[in-house]
Chain A
Amino acid sequence: MTVVFWILAAVTVAGGLAAVMLKNTVHCALALTTAFAGLALLFMQLDAQFVGFAQILVYIGAVAILVVFAILLTRESEQPEKGVFSRTWLAGLAIAAAVFAVLAWAVLNSRAALPDAVGLPKPAPEVTVAQIGDALMGRYVLPLEILALLLTAAMIGAVLVAMHEKGGRK
């Protein structure tokens, strides 16, 4: 476990925590981008450059912007008078804790945690973008096409959903 990893992990987790805990919604969004960045760096730490860049491009470049746009469009940036947490926040917290407990327990009891397991650090696989391209156009061409379809559908759907009703109903 390198120091870098711990730093990045700390950054990511801190960003995540901030993202869900801060009062001001826009701050949450910005913290979210921090978490994204941390994750991207973690990906690169895992020798997955391409995924890391994709992460930055998509999440920081697009999703984060979308989120802040949504925030400004829904005028939610100023926090509501009655707390930012929902009425049943305690139950939610408990459940989330339970989930983490189960997951952590599973991880720590699985073979992944044992030193002799697959987790041994091995030489980084040399992955060039060309290989990824070949894979995308070869083995994974069908998922790729389906994905393209999905994205188109999602775009149209999002536009339709967010579009103002014509003729101004209500």
Chain B
Amino acid sequence: MRWLWLIPALPIVASGIIALLKQPRRRLSAGLAIAALSFSLLLSLAAFAHVIDTRALLLHFGFNPAVRETVDFTWLTFGTSTVQLGWVLDPLAAVMLMMVTFVGLLIFIYSVGYMAHDENYTRFFCFLSLFAGAMLGVVISNSLLLLFMCWEIVGLTSYLLIGFWYQKPSAAAAAKKAFITTRFGDVFFLLGIVWLFAQTGTLLFYNQGAGSLEPLAIGMLLQTPAKLGLSAAGAIGLLIFAGAVGKSGQLPLHVWLPDAMEGPTPVSALIHAATMVAAGVYLVARVYPLMTAGVLPGGTTTSLTVITWVGASTAVFAALIAVAQNDIKRILAYSTVSQLGYMMAGLGLGGVAVGMFHLITHAFFKALLFLGAGSVIHGSHEEQDVRNMGGIRKYMPVTFVVYAVGMLALCGVPIFFSGFWSKDAILESAHKWHAGQGPFYLLVFGALLTAFYMTRQVSYVFFGDNRGHDHPHESPRVMTAPLAILAFFAIALGVVGTPAWPWFRSFLTDTHANFGGLDSFKEPGLLTLMLLSSMVVLFGIGLGWMLYGNKSPRAEEPDALEKAIPPVWRALRDRLYVDELYGATIIAFYYWWARVADWLDRRVWGGIVAAIMWLFGLWAQLNRFIDMNFVDGAFDKGCEELSGGGGLMARVQSGRVQNYLRLLALGVVILAAILIWSSHG
């Protein structure tokens, strides 16, 4: 696939052109961005089809249907070692390409409507398509370095877009927070990259056996031990995972993601729900061989265990917090965090297929939810607090329907919704996990919470009677159409991942998909598991409905749950004090520093004061007066000295050309003399 690079290149070029456009050229810029991305979509379709039919061909001849085509080129050479970049096309990449381009395109179209009133329209689309290009770059890159570059561009665009309304201080702060927090993870990521390069001498993933993810290199990495009883493979895996943690907001670096909701809603949908945060998951999936290095059949490795626990705990943690939020987008943000936790856990427990499947389905229904939320906000005049909404069902029927679909998918309502199948796969693999049942219970609890808070939100927003100030209105067609499409996929996507026909799994794991039919449900424990999860979900929904359904509490009166268990509620509402914790540490540091300064003040200057008092024996007024003069005088003297020194230095730079020329000539003379003497001597 020589032309694969076009897929990311097109949007990037488009953004370049848009960057040059004038502000009033709104239609043109939007058109450019959308056109570029739709071309990319077509190309991705082509790539996808290509992968599929090569698989079919290989299967037909009974080979192992592993499709992987790479195109590599040397980027730079220093000494004997070269750094190669390149792109790869394999099922993983193909699926991801499809998802990113498709969801991205829908969201582009959506934002045409959503941003219609913003005067920085062109800038928005410039950033947006730059982001899309970088993200696609991450997806197709076959070299850890290239991936890292695109990864950073993605981070940058995320920063730019979160701070898109930089005139809002909160937005600016959120942007900074996001950037710095993710950077924190990226440091470890970079360390991992460097280490990997040092060990294997290549950053390519796949390169006819010479790549860093291929058995040869992996074996070599396994041999080399690192600290804490880890092999180099494991350590590098963990470092890279740290980058993923930063990017996809896992515990403990999740703090930036909820704040990122300051950005425009399409951005939240595209970047902080569907694609970018998924990049972390994708990264882990991409370097999965590193993670599983040296795993025994049925066993697990340190890295996988870590990933699993981090993922599971994040899932529950975030879900807990989401229960007690009142900002519609914040709820979704926390649910995103928890779903990302699910994906990570899925990766850790059941392998690439499980995690990626949830990633894909989640991308669709979460984008759907966000856009729905956006449409709600848009329709109810920029109102974001769920307690001031309610009864929107009547005003925005379309939005309500699609939102409901999304919500049910997220909760994982059985059979009909894609979320069910993907989450069920995760639960199943968690159940099968040999290294303990802890994650399983966590995840089940998480599912319960998910169902609960989604119900709470929906009933707050759509049921009851309207508590808003003025009547909401349905959003324009250009916004609802993408919603409808997304809704369709939120339902339909489940088909490719049912245990009955695990096409997706086999597609990613390079095995043949055989249509098991209903007998495949007879697998021991599977049915009971599905039953259990459905029970849990229904229980969660029921609970939520019981507490919030069709009631319309006033904004000021305490939440239903708050009445029940106030302390827990407060803790949850304050996001379990994570931010406070982080803040506290830093503030403590500041206090300490202040105390040091204070000490200096007392001892040093105070001592001088005392000395003067003792010397002149004047009374306090005069004393303080002298002291001031004395201190200030000291300061002034010091400043004078400093500036004097600077002036001394600066005198060399007399702006007289002739000085310079003179020095030049002098240098020439000396050089020539030296040359001659050396030649004579």
Contact = CB atoms under 8 A, between A and B. Distances in A.
Interface of A: 86, 88, 91-92, 95-96, 98-99, 102-103, 105-106, 109
A95 B669 contact: yes
Contacts of B665: 95-96, 99
B59 interface: no
A105 B676 CA distance: 9
A95 to B, nearest CB: 5
Q: Closest 4 A-B residue pairs measured CB to CB?
A: A102-B672, A98-B669, A95-B665, A102-B669
A109 B662 contact: no
Interface residues of B, number: 11
Interface in B468-486: none
Given A88-B662, A91-B662, A105-B676, 5 more contacts: A88-B658, A95-B662, A99-B665, A106-B676, A109-B676
A85 B447 CA distance: 90
B662 A102 contact: no
Contacts of A103: 672
B1 interface: no
B658 A99 contact: no
B642 interface: no
B666 A95 contact: yes
Which of A96, A98, A109 is most buried by chain B, counting CB atoms within 10 A of its CB? A98
Contacts of B662: 88, 91-92, 95
B227 interface: no
Contacts of A86: 658
A106 B672 CA distance: 9
A96 B658 CA distance: 13
Interface string B652-681: 000000110010011011001100100010
A99 B676 contact: no
21 contacts: A88-B658, A88-B659, A88-B662, A92-B658, A95-B662, A95-B665, A95-B666, A95-B669, A96-B665, A98-B666, A98-B669, A99-B665, A99-B668, A99-B669, A102-B669, A102-B673, A102-B676, A103-B672, A105-B676, A106-B672, A109-B676
Contacts of B659: 88
Contacts of B673: 102
A150 B60 CA distance: 65
Contacts of A92: 658, 662
B442 to A, nearest CB: 70
Interface in B348-406: none
A99 B662 CA distance: 11
Interface in B452-472: none
Contacts of A102: 669, 672-673, 676
A102 B665 CA distance: 11
Contacts of A105: 676
A140 to B, nearest CB: 28
Contacts of B669: 95, 98-99, 102
B680 A109 contact: yes
B170 to A, nearest CB: 42
A121 to B, nearest CB: 27
B673 to A, nearest CB: 6
A22 to B, nearest CB: 19
Nearest to B676: A106
B528 to A, nearest CB: 81
Contacts of B658: 86, 88, 92
B262 to A, nearest CB: 43
A95 B665 CA distance: 7
A99 B668 CA distance: 8
Contacts of B672: 102-103, 106
A95 B680 CA distance: 23
Nearest to B671: A102
A88 B666 CA distance: 14
Nearest to A106: B676
Contacts of A98: 666, 669
A123 B659 CA distance: 46
Which of B659, B666, B669, B676 is most buried by chain A, counting CB atoms within 10 A of its CB? B669
Nearest to B675: A106
Nearest to A86: B658
Interface in B107-121: none
Contacts of A99: 665, 668-669
Nearest to B666: A95
A99 B680 CA distance: 19
